Every structure is written in structure tokens, then in C-alpha cells.
Structure 1
């Protein structure tokens, strides 16, 4: 290869590398130039993200998302909320459809291979079992051979089927799960603790159903961003810490009847020390 050609090829490779680095570094700038934060949020998952009586997005994580938007843009209205479910939230993130996930995203090593996690902000009961009041489940092993309704993409599905032998009947959204259970398509629901603990207090549910088995594990909840976006991740993390320090998550637990958790209280105290 002639010297000029080799030199041109080398310069092209260097330029390509520099451009790739700029693309990553400019993610925060691109989001700010757009003028709004595009967030993947649940709209079917009370109390973390759901639609209120007026059809407006509300919930524990919706409040957090608005706080992050306010920190980045000066207004909590500078936000676009894209409905996601467990089975598509990471796919939509990595496809560039959303900037960040705030949608009950459990922090796991496997997920950490394909996305970066933000600061944690909640600890969730990983899975409980809701069943008819007359059910006699005494341990998770008792679900073997039972038809269990659940969510597509839930990280505990493998445990339910492979360890405890449940026959899973999976759906994308919570409304579908509830309907399938109430119409007799499954014997019980295995789903995230806060959601089912809230559901079992509702009219039409509290007289017929119970939490038959408590959580077997707790998992930290965090937001998610695409890999290779350190400036954007740093800005989101800073906004989360400021929201925690301001009491957003502590007041959110009370506002959405989540109880008072040591985890959220301690994070708020630690955040106050960090943002001084």
C-alpha cells in the first residue's frame, strides 16, 4: 500500500475514533438541546407508575422522573413519558427511544452487562404470592405444578419455573395478569410485593384474596441508561441524590402508601451529606 494511502487510512481510523468518543460525550448535550427528558415509565403499576382518575401519569417513580427533569431543565414539565413494561424497557432504552428508565428496574449483574444503572433509590420485595383466601400455600415449594400468573421479563420467572416447578402464564401488563387470574386461567399471581400488597387492599379483592406467601428476596431498584454515557449518567445521578436529599422519596412512600422503609430513610440522610 502506498505511503499516502496508508497515512490516509490511519487518519480515517483516528477520526472515526474521535467521532465515536464525541458521540458518547455529547449525549447530555443532545438531551439538553432537545429540551426535554424522555423517560421510560410504567403506567400500569400502582404505586410506582400508573394513570390517575384523570388519565395523568402519577406514582412514586413518576415523581422522581419529574424531579430529575426539573434538575436538568429547570422545569418538571420538560419531560416525555413513554409507557414501558418489564419485557421491553431495556430494548427501548438501547434502541434510543428513551433516555432513561424509571420503571421498577431491579439491579442485577446480568442487566449490568447491557445497561448502566443509576443511583439506587428503593428496595423492593422481589416476589410475593397472591391467592384466594381459602388457599393453603405454606412455602414456595407448594406452587409446584400450579398455574401461576406473572409478568413477562420478570427476573424471578426462572426461579419460579425451574426451582419451584410452577407452570407460568405470563403477560405484558398488570391488567392482563389480574384479568387472567380472576377469570380462572391461573391458581395464583406471583408478582412484585408493593404492587400486590396494594392490590389486595382494593374493593373486590380484599374480601376474596390474600398474600399467601411473603417475599423470598429483596432487590435494589435503580434507573437505567445506555452504556458509554458517563456525562449523562453523572447528571442523572446528581439529580437523583438531590431529590433524595430534598425528601422526594421519603414523602413518596407516605404519599403512595408504601410504608416507611429504613432503606429510603437512610438514603435520604446519606444524600443530604453528599449534596452539601
Structure 2
């Protein structure tokens, strides 16, 4: 979660002002015959490239479910790689139809885009550090060089509240390389990603999750404003995917662990659909 401070994100999004009206966006997508999705391709387990060169991940599966509901086939989809710092710009510039890229729901972002009704996951930031490092609270990162992601919604908190010296990058590979080469003392990044990273060979013996989740925020899809029919179609696709336990199974498939939130969403979706 998937990510410069909130003011910078909102400011960048205004640079690419959303078109005045897109009530016929759904019709255009159907005429085109494919859904263009902004997706992460470097962020295990939400969106990444597998050994066969295919886009896979928790949010890729959601995107496929939406494409199938909207267009009749999960293959009626085009992936556009995005990072946290450009995903809203790409959306409001018309380069993509929808964002499925660890997009945290915030009031500031809600001023420039619309979120899907279905917040399909809750996620938060953790701190990864060397095993011999001592951090008892987030206050202990004060003055430390902390590697992170451009556009992350926690960056303002890290700098203003905890006074960390952030070293920001666009992609996860850059973050990991900078940390391993000593350019920062620790990594502040999304929990699901770092919890998986610290289990990998070469990492599990040297590093640890030093501080647990600082806060939880809902993760959702994002579309341009003034696209009510298109937004409703995206919501329907997510709702049906939840009701079919795609997200519950996805947590297990991608080693995300079981969450009460996702299970509850699935039950509510089934009730709403009368299943």
C-alpha cells in the first residue's frame, strides 16, 4: 500500500484533471472489448510477474474477475504497470480505466477519484530492519534513514510525526537494493509485502520485522469521477468475486493469512446477492 506524502499525491492528481463527464465509460470499455487496468507488476503478492512472464497476484485476480463480469472473459484485459506515485495520474489522464494497485482509501484521494464500494482488504505499514537492530516503538525511527516508496500514504506521518529521514524510490526492487547496500537503516513499507520478504533466503537469517503495523487502512479499486455506470459495473464484479470466495481463497493462495475482514466481506456479498 501499495506509494511522496498525501498532499503530493493529491497535487499530482490535480495536474491531470479528470474529464468533466464519463457517464458512458462503461459503453466505451465494452466497445473496445477490453478493460485497461493499472496494476503493480513488482509487488508480491498483490501484483507481479511470474516465472512464465505472466501478470499474477491477489489484485490481478480481482481485475480478471471484474473483466469477466463486465466483458464476459477474464482475458479481456490489458495491464498497465503503475507505481504508487503515478497511478492516480494515469487514471485521470485516461491512460487506464481502473486502478487495482494497493490503493489506500483516504479523504484526500477521494477528492480526485472515486473508490469502489468494496474495500477488499485492510493493510498497514511495518518496519523491516537488521536482526540486531533495536526498535521498541515507531518513535525510535526519529533521525534514522528509512527506505520507502514514493507516494505512500504513510510518508507524511513518518516525516512529520516521527521525523524519519526518508529515502524514497518508485519500485520495490530499488527499495530492497538500497537497504541491502546500506543506504538506509530500515524499510518502512506495506506489511503483506515485507512479511513475505523476510521469509526469503538471504533475508530470513539477517532481517526481521522490527515494528508491527502502524495503522490499518482499507484498500480499494479506483476509477475516475463522474463514471457512475462504470463504477457500478466494477463494484458488481468485485461483489461477485467476494461472494464466490475468490478473495478468501486468494489470501491462502498468496500466503496472506486469513483475515476476519475478508471473510466477513464474503458473507455480506452472498447475503446481498441472495446466495
Partner Cα separation in structure 1 for residue 198 and residue 218 of structure 2 = 23
Cα distance per residue 1:227-252 (max 9 Å; x no partner): 00000000100111001001110000
The answer to whether residue 74 in structure 2 is matched with residue 66 in structure 1 is: no
How many residue pairs end up in the alignment? Answer: 256
Deviation at 1:69, TM superposition (A): 0.3
Deviation at 1:187, TM superposition (A): 0.2
Unaligned segments of structure 2, at least 5 residues: 1-18
Aligned to 1:188: 186
Aligned to 2:6: none
Deviation at 1:126, TM superposition (A): 1.6
Aligned to 1:173: 171
Structure 1 stretches (4+) deviating beyond 2 angstroms?
A: 119-125
Aligned to 2:46: 48
Deviation at 1:203, TM superposition (A): 0.6
The answer to whether residue 115 in structure 2 is matched with residue 113 in structure 1 is: no
CA contact (8 A) 1:44 1:174 kept: yes
Report the structure number with the largest CA radius of gyration.
Answer: 1
Aligned to 1:100: 98
Partner Cα separation in structure 1 for residue 178 and residue 236 of structure 2 = 41
Aligned to 2:16: none
Partner Cα separation in structure 1 for residue 241 and residue 269 of structure 2 = 9
Deviation at 1:204, TM superposition (A): 0.6
Superposed CA RMSD in Å reads: 1.1
SS in 2 for 1:243: helix
Partner Cα separation in structure 2 for residue 173 and residue 202 of structure 1 = 18
Aligned to 2:33: 35
**Residue of 250, 254, 258 corresponding to 2:252:** 254
Partner Cα separation in structure 2 for residue 127 and residue 212 of structure 1 = 12
Partner Cα separation in structure 2 for residue 210 and residue 93 of structure 1 = 36
Deviation at 1:268, TM superposition (A): 0.2
Matches within 5 A, 1:82-97: 82-97=80-95
SS in 1 for 2:232: helix
Which piece of structure 1 moves more, 80-89 or 113-122? 113-122
Matches within 5 A, 1:216-231: 216-231=214-229
CA contact (8 A) 2:102 2:219 kept: yes
SS in 1 for 2:188: strand
Matches within 5 A, 1:128-143: 128-143=126-141
Greater relative contact order: 1 or 2 (C-alpha under 8 angstroms, separation 6 or more)?
2
Unaligned segments of structure 1, at least 5 residues: 1-19
Deviation at 1:54, TM superposition (A): 1.2
Cα distance per residue 1:189-212 (max 9 Å; x no partner): 000000000100001100000000
- TM value normalised by structure 2: 0.91
SS in 2 for 1:242: helix
